[in-house]
Amino acid sequence: MASKQIDLLHGTIGDKLLAFVVPLAATSILQQLFNAADVAVVGQFCGTEAMAAVGGTSAFIGLMVSFVTGISLGANVVLANFIGSDNREGIRKTVNTAIIMSLVLGLLFAGLGECIAVQVTHALGVPEEIFDGALLYLKIYMAGMPFIVLYNFEASIFRSIGDTRTPLIMLTISGFINVIMNLVFVLGMGMDVDGVATATVLSNLISSIALLVVLIKRRSVVRLELRHMTFSSRAFIRIIEIGLPAGLQAAMFTFANVIIQSAINSLGSDVMAASSAAFNLEILDFYVVSAYSQAMTTFIGQNYGAGSPERCRRIFRICMLQAFSATILVSALLCIFGGPLLSLFTDSEEVISIGIIRLYFIAGFEVVNAVTELLSGWLRGFGISLMPAVLCFFGICVVRIIWVYTLFRAHPTFEVIMACYPGSWACASVLLIVAAVWTRRKTLAGFFAESN
């Protein structure tokens, strides 16, 4: 497993960025494809209402998962800094603390999800005819949160050393098992949304346990030693300092999307089904952007810890160029082939036509969101996590909430609610550009002056 580790501190950058990003993006995309299998199976074999039930609470599920992913990013940054400075004791304590945190947080989120599932489903405005199905799917999914949290923290640990292939391998295995279980539960056992939800929980269990075994068996300094498990309050505080704002920033996108989902739900089952199907496609574009954002954080984090300002400059330039190029390419493909891709989820012409509208508004403008994500990743690499979170709160969350309760209320159409995505991205991008320039010239001026 040590051979999968990428040396982020020396040598060329472009090829190592690709070696880091491709498995990471593939992991997220593959995970989404397996999630899309849930929608596709119920859409093809159980009908539009079951398909809408699976997608009806997706915004809240996305909020929880995004928050967990953001918190786990704190472990990534702390470990990357320690690896860059070759602080072995700090690495050991951070790995142990991250795993303990994941176990506790997973149980807390599972309990919270079960307690508020009914209230959340009501708050999302899920129509009465699919309410029971949406509630059942949400409850089963939230019961599997301990495995989702554990997997995210484990994957974050692997990413800190440049290993993005191991999580991909484990996810691939569990994902195919997920698809098989979907078909067995739905076709073989006559289950509905409960079948695809149970399959998802079991596949998450498999991937998280598999990564845990690999982490224990690793022969490097970044490994889990069960006999020496300790909880470090200092490591915990540092992970929270970076991870909590990052988690809140990620959750802000999805929190605002919960409100947007409620507006979408008010437009009827066809719009809900179309939005759910299109989301499973457009999110692929976001995962490319997110992979480059996490690469920016990890590469900058290690080189900042090693005191390499010139290499940090080069990482920024190359990562931005690669990210914009990849995002534009994926966006174009989704917009061009949107119709045939949406037909994989449903044969309803009305649902497909509505889904294409969503793809144009979101995938068509994803490059604007890339600015926000990449600059946020750059700042987090230096341990600056609160600033991008606050700016995204105003640029993303506040703008979208105002949009829903003003423009959409005055003109309740699907096109109006979709336009809030590129509009809020543009606001957040402007704020992040100003913040990045200010940080470079003020907070980080001493660090970058070292190479002059």
pLDDT at residue 45, rounded to an integer: 60
Condensed to tens digits (0 to 9), the pLDDT of residues 20-58 reads 999 988 887 777 676 667 777 776 666 666 666 676 777
Three-class SS string for the chain?
CHHHCCCCCCCCCHHHHHHHHHHHHHHHHHHHHHHHHHHHHHHHHCCHHHHHHHHHCHHHHHHHHHHHHHHHHHHHHHHHHHHHCCCHHHHHHHHHHHHHHHHHHHHHHHHHHHHHHHHHHHHCCCCHHHHHHHHHHHHHHHHCHHHHHHHHHHHHHHHHCCCCHHHHHHHHHHHHHHHHHHHHHHHHCCCCHHHHHHHHHHHHHHHHHHHHHHHHHCCCCCCCCHHHCCCCHHHHHHHHHHHHHHHHHHHHHHHHHHHHHHHHHCCCHHHHHHHHHHHHHHHHHHHHHHHHHHHHHHHHHHHHHCCCHHHHHHHHHHHHHHHHHHHHHHHHHHHHCHHHHHCCCCCCHHHHHHHHHHHHHHHHHHHHHHHHHHHHHHHHHCCCCHHHHHHHHHHHHHHHHHHHHHHHHHCCCHHHHHCHHHHHHHHHHHHHHHHHHHHHHCCCHHHHHCCC
113-150 pLDDT, tens digit each: 888 888 888 887 777 777 888 888 889 989 999 999 99
Can you give the pLDDT at residue 47? 65
Residue 316: what pLDDT?
96
- For residue 49, the model assigns a pLDDT of 66
Question: Is the per-residue pLDDT at 1 higher than 50?
Answer: no
- Does 17 have pLDDT greater than 50? yes
Q: What is the pLDDT of residues 98-110, one digit of tens each?
A: 999 999 999 999 9
Task: Please determine, for residue 62, whether its predicted confidence score (pLDDT) is greater than 80.
Answer: no
- Among 99-108, 244-253, 374-383, 405-414, which stretch is predicted with the lowest mean pLDDT? 244-253
pLDDT at 2 over 60: no
Mean per-residue pLDDT of the chain? 87
The domain spans of the chain are 2-443
* pLDDT computed for residue 249 by the predictor: 74
Has residue 3 got a pLDDT over 60?
no
pLDDT tens per residue, range 325-365: 999 999 999 999 988 988 887 778 888 999 999 999 999 99
Residue 261 has pLDDT above 70, yes or no: yes
